[in-house]
Amino acid sequence: MVEHRMIDVKGIRLHIAEEGEGPLVVLLHGFPESWHSWRHQFGPLAAAGFRVVAPDQRGYGRSDHPEAVEAYNILNLVGDVVGLIHALGEQQAFVIGHDWGAPVAWHTALLRPDVVRGVAGLSVPPPFRGDRAPLGAMQERFGGRFYWNYFNQPGVADAEFGRDARTTLRTFFYSASGDGPRAGHPDSALVSDPARGWLADMTDPETLPDWLTEQDLDEVTASYAKGFTGALNWYRNLDRNWELTAAWDGAVIAPPSLYIYGDRDLVPAFPGASELIANLPKLMPNLRRAPIVLPGCGHWTQQERPTEVNAALVEFLTELAAS
């Protein structure tokens, strides 16, 4: 059974969900989600002999929501993971992330390989530090219509998303899923008219997809009682993260690794992503197998395809734990 508690992690309080005993597995959610996005993974991973912990990351749910935008930079996010592992009484853990949780997982493996026994990312491939700051690059490519740039306008997306959190989340989940009408086409699905708002060009479904229930939507909606600002502040650190990670330009991810994504996911269809995925063996020399591609799956990988994701994770983790 999944249990919940608060835990102090080097100056920040995080809400965690946990189940099982054995080697520690930390599951990191993305935007706009919460620990609940891993609901299908707790039982199978615990049954396979692992201690499974999923936090609400900083700025989300019942965890602390620091006010300063810079508090959400990548070094602090990695620090939360390392601090959580140690606060749980462990020196090492397997770290798995989805969406924004994937860059945190990849960077934790990159910056602290001594703490990471193995790393897996869902949807978002390993970090590739381009030759220019990301917000300016996307501003130029999409004329200010890309979602990163919209999210970086102080208070704007915060207000739009917060007016009706449940509708916002329902719209996000459907539109970016494999069921969405523009799945796999980021040039249309991830740009919009900033004057009309981000949700204006997204689809609010009359019926939820099979993988998302009204109870699931209730749970995640409740986690946004404090609003969306903390979560959006992660995006407001994209250029800062680019600056902070300069020392690791060209570095590789050393721990054993795994990458899983859906063929209708918007993120692996980003400009340049296919080339990046093709070069993963160079970025992750301990990649344990070729990237796992899930047919018909959109962005919400572990929610849309829990059976396949669980099987891949159990195989990956069990092999590493045995070695």
Exposure on the CB side of residue 179, measured as CA atoms within 13 A: 19
Q: Per residue in 244-255, pLDDT tens?
A: 999 999 999 999
pLDDT at 194: 82
pTM: 0.97
Token representation of residue 70: 């810079």
Q: Per residue in 212-250, pLDDT tens?
A: 999 999 999 999 999 999 999 999 999 999 999 999 999
Handedness of CA 242, 128, 229, 204 (dihedral sign): positive
Dist CA 172 CA 311 (whole Å): 27
pLDDT at 192: 81
Beta-bridge partners for 9? 12
Residue type, 293: V
Spatial strand order in the sheet of 116-122: 3-9, 12-19, 51-55, 24-28, 93-98, 116-122, 257-262, 292-294
Q: Are 97 and 106 in contact (CB under 8 A)?
A: yes
Beta-bridge partners for 262? 294
Q: Per residue in 285-306, pLDDT tens?
A: 999 999 999 999 999 999 999 9
pLDDT at 190: 81
Where do the structural domains in the chain lie, given as residue ranges?
3-322
Q: Per residue in 63-106, pLDDT tens?
A: 999 999 999 999 999 999 999 999 999 999 999 999 999 999 99
Q: How many residues does the chain have?
A: 323
pLDDT at 195: 86
What is the set of active-site residues? 99, 299
Q: Annotate the chain with three-state secondary structure.
A: CCEEEEEEECCEEEEEEEECCCCEEEEECCCCCCHHHHCCCHHHHHHCCCEEEEECCCCCCCCCCCCCHHHHCHHHHHHHHHHHHHHCCCCCEEEEEECCHHHHHHHHHHHCCCCEEEEEEECCCCCCCCCCCHHHHHHHHHCCCEHHHHHCCCCHHHHHHHCCHHHHHHHHHHHCCCCCCCCCCHHHHCECCCCCCHHHHCCCCCCCCCCCCHHHHHHHHHCCCCCCHHHHHHHCCHHHHHHHCHHHCCCCCCCCEEEEEECCCCHHHCCCHHHHHHCHHHHCCCECCCCEEECCCCCCHHHHCHHHHHHHHHHHHHHHHHC
Q: Which CATH class is domain 3-322?
A: alpha beta
